[in-house]
Structure 1
Amino acid sequence: MKVGTNNQSVNLQTSKVREQQEDAMKKLVTGLRINSAQDDAAGLQIANRLFAQSSGTQVAIRNANDAYSLASVADSALAGVNDAADRIGDLSLRAANASLSAADRDAIQQEINQLQGQVSDIQTNTTFAGQSLFAGSSNSEFQVGANANTTVGLSLPDLTDQLGELQIIDVTTQDGAQAAVETSRSVGEYVNSVRGQVGAFQNRVESSINTLNNSYEQNEVARSRIQDTDFAQTSADKAQADILSNIGVSLQAQANVSRGQALSLLN
């Protein structure tokens, strides 16, 4: 007479439940639904492609932000030059007044000299990442997308000739002052035209940044939906596996007790 339980079936069920517990715990700990190709081979491939796209987009966003920063530096410098040109124009107009004495014009020239120095400093010292922006022409290209041709470029002219005209302004004579009025106005208009180009570039870059941010967010949402753990569902799955495990242990213990009691009676 054979007394016992179907231990093989119980052990198989217990092993299966243990695997479910371990799988759920791994997903909860890592935060990933797919931890290896075994979990979901197709899903892992898609998630990896989306991750690569997101990584590339992040690089493009950094590049675009660099482009915007360069344009901001250039615009700030041009604004300084424009302010100086406007002030020189105002002073020149004042110096053109026939009622002023030579001493008066000399005093005005002293202020203009300081403004000329400021303009020279701006031209010489305006740099971005070690690159001079106005001491010679500059052309900066930025990769702002995954494709090789997705670039934006900003070309800044050599301002040496235009700003050089400001440097030779001399209002110590009425004729010089009258000529300086036109010179400062002309330089100011040119600088403003360059600022317009820089502003248009900034608008384009800002639009690119917004597009890239939207693309990154969409990729991350899609990747997360495929790869990341659904904590509510996985927690419920683990709780169910824990209950089944406890039931299995209890049944195994009861079966062992019953088997022992039966053997005792037979003996």
Structure 2
Amino acid sequence: MALTINNNMMAMNAARNLSHSYGALATSTQRLSSGLRINTAADDAAGLAIRELMRSDVATLNQGVRNANDAISMIQTADGALQVVDEKLIRMKELAEQAATGTYTSDQRLIIDSEYQAMASEITRIAMATDFNGIYLLNGNLSGANYDGAGINSVGKLKVHFGTGNSSAEDYYYVRIGNSTASALGVGMGAAAGTSGRSISTQEMAQKALDAIQTAIVSKDKIRANLGALQNRLENTISNLQIQAENLQSAESQISDVDVATEMTNFVRNQILTQSAVAMLSQANSLPKMAMQLISG
């Protein structure tokens, strides 16, 4: 290589190597400080796209878990209210049994019937008042077979959404809760005319009310059994969602997270190369001085 003044090729080569090593050092520093192998699309464009899709699925699945937990809380609220309704129906059957015997006068049966009607009114009050986050659970609003969510307020059965898409087979299912008012159960004066459980003011009506109350208890138990089955299903759904989210998070980590041991090795290598390139650039810049020695000599 000729000794020249205008073009110091050794310095240019050292500067190029320094720029490359310093850039690699900066990349290693960024990865180690962020903990991520992919910080920009330039690091791995395909990996970045896959990572972001996985991150969106993980976030959606975690929200799905929260949705399912909210649904469980709603079901527990409804079941707790139905437990109180159960107590009222048992008391009503006890009163009907009492009024069905012939050892009471008509006035006494009217007194017994007044408590009977009070229990029926309380059942209706509970059904009309039980709500979860403003959604009334036992008044029949959620008993419809059809669902319509096109409006501001959805109509019919309640949709619990927990999946990452919108497939009825995979991402959601419905919760239906039957009407639990006294009239719907067929007891108390609110029941339809001719219903056996309307009153126990006479011995004959009290005897017929026993069967009507038994039917009401069975109807209520069916609602509770359905709620229990839904709660168990939601708990299983939550377990599955958590496993999915965990596995997706693991896969995302394999793509996105930096291997600290490997990257630390790269960091040290790039650091040494950078320091070496700086030293050699300094030496290369001093080489043209040799030409001056020849000229002056």
For 1:154 and 1:224, the matched residues in 2 are separated by 36
Letter in 1 for 2:247: Q
Distance 1:243-1:105 versus aligned 2 partners, 3 A rule: farther
Deviation at 1:265, TM superposition (A): 7.4
Counterpart among 185, 198, 214 of residue 163 in structure 1: 185
Q: How many residues align?
A: 266
Of 68, 80, 99 in structure 2, the residue corresponding to residue 64 of structure 1 is 68
**Matching residue of 2:32:** 28
Residues 100 and 206 of structure 2 are in contact (CA less than 8 Å); yes or no, is this contact kept in structure 1?
A: yes
Say whether 1:143 aligns with 2:161.
yes
Q: 1:29-178 maps to which residues of 2 (within 5 A)? A: 29-96=33-100, 112-136=116-140, 137-138=143-144, 139-145=157-163, 146-149=165-168, 150=170, 151-160=172-181, 161-166=183-188, 170-171=199-200, 174-178=203-207
SS in 2 for 1:33: coil
Q: What is the deviation of 1:238?
A: 2.0
Q: Comparing both chains, which one has the higher relative contact order based on Cα–Cα distances under 8 Å and sequence gaps of 6 or more?
A: 1
Structure 1 range deviating more: 202-211 or 237-246: 237-246
Equivalence for 1:211: 240
For 1:249 and 1:97, how far apart are their aligned partners in 2? 108
Paired letter, 2:74: L
**Structure 1 position 22, deviation (Å):** 0.9
Q: Secondary structure of 2:268's match?
A: helix
- The residue number in structure 2 matching 1:221 is 250
Point out where structure 2 has 5 or more consecutive residues left out of the alignment.
145-156, 190-196
TM-score (structure 1 length as normaliser): 0.80
- Shift of residue 219, structure 1, vs aligned partner: 1.2
The separation in 2 between residues aligned to 1:41 and 1:210, in whole angstroms, is 33
Residue 222 of structure 1 and its aligned partner are, at CA, apart by 0.7
1:183 aligns with 2:204: no
Q: What 5-or-longer segments of structure 1 have no aligned partner?
A: none
TM-score by length of 2: 0.73
Amino acid at match of 2:53: R
| Alignment partner, residue 23 of structure 2 | 19
Q: For the residues of structure 2 that align with 1:194 and 1:212, how far apart are their CA atoms?
A: 27
SS of equivalent to 1:7: helix
Paired residue for 1:235?
264
In structure 2, distance between residues paired with 1:215 and 1:124: 39
Structure with more helix by fraction: 1
Moved more, 36-45 or 171-180: 171-180
Instruction: Give a deviation string over 1:1-53, Cα, whole Å, max 9, x none.
Output: 94989222322222122111111122233332112232112222322332333
CA separation of 1:242/1:166 partners in 2, compared to 1, >3 Å: closer, same or farther? farther
Post-superposition shift, 1:112?
Answer: 4.2
Report deviation, 1:192: 0.4
AA partner of residue 157 (structure 1): G
Identity of aligned residues (%): 27
CA change 1:188–1:248 in 2 (3 A) is same
